[in-house]
Amino acid sequence: MSASITISPREIRQIFQPHTSSASRFWELAQKANNLAIIIEARWDQIPTETRELLKIFAYAVIEPPQGIKGIFVEFFERFSWAFALFLIVIKGEKDGLIAYIGAFQRLLNAILSGIEREDIAYQKALSEALEETFAGLETSEAMTVEDACERIRAISYQALE
Instruction: For residue 1, tell me if it sits in a domain.
Output: no
Contacts of 52 (CB under 8 A, 6+ apart): 44, 115
Q: Do both 88 and 153 map to the same domain?
A: no
| The pLDDT value given to residue 2 | 42
pTM listed for this prediction: 0.64
Instruction: For residue 153, tell me if it sits in a domain.
Output: yes
Q: Is the pLDDT of residue 1 over 50?
A: no
How far apart are the C-alpha atoms of 134 and 115, rounded to whole Å? 24
Q: Is the pLDDT of residue 107 over 90?
A: yes
Q: Do both 108 and 156 map to the same domain?
A: no
- pLDDT bracket for residue 119 (50, 70, 90): confident
What is the enclosing helix (H) or strand (E) of 145?
A: none
Q: Is the pLDDT of residue 138 over 90?
A: no
Report the number of distinct structural domains present in the chain.
Answer: 2
Q: Do both 141 and 65 map to the same domain?
A: no
Instruction: For residue 4, tell me if it sits in a domain.
Output: no
What is the enclosing helix (H) or strand (E) of 151?
A: helix 146-161
The predicted model gives 99-103 an average pLDDT of 86
Domain that holds residue 63: 9-119
